[in-house]
Amino acid sequence: MSTVDGPSERIEFLQGTLEVLILRSLQAGPNHAYGIGQFLEQQSGNEFVVDNGSLYPALQRLLQRKWVVAQWKMSPNARRARYYRLTPLGRDQLVEEQSKWRRFVEAMSRVLTPEG
């Protein structure tokens, strides 16, 4: 049930990565689900597929863990939208996850890059 009929070579999300990416996208400021999706697709150079079937449950899980809070606000083009904002708890979590991901990426590239 993919939302995008786009090229199939685009990257699927790894398990659990979407939640970090959402937290990262909210670092720039509160945003709504549509905006988060747009942000992630653009920032990844259209490499990521943001499936609403994954995005919405992930947002609900973040709400549950109190890493984000949601609030109904008016958008710049005068639409009522539900804005998600990072909580202090979510900010801590993001820092932690970022360092974890950096270590992971470094380790991966060390393994994958053939030694000179």
With respect to another protein, which residue has the nearer C-beta, 83 or 86? 83
With respect to another protein, which residue has the nearer C-beta, 82 or 85? 82
29 Ramachandran zone, left/alpha/beta (phi>0; psi -120 to 50): left
81 burial class (0-12, 13-18, 19+ CB within 10 angstroms)?
middle
With respect to another protein, which residue has the nearer C-beta, 73 or 103? 73
For residue 18, the minimal CB distance to another protein (Å) is 13
Give CA separation, 52 vs 64, 94, 106, in Å. 18, 22, 30
For residue 111, the minimal CB distance to another protein (Å) is 34
For residue 13, the minimal CB distance to another protein (Å) is 15
- The footprint of another protein (CB under 8 A) covers 1-4, 32-35, 51-53, 56-57, 59-61, 64, 70, 75, 77, 79-82
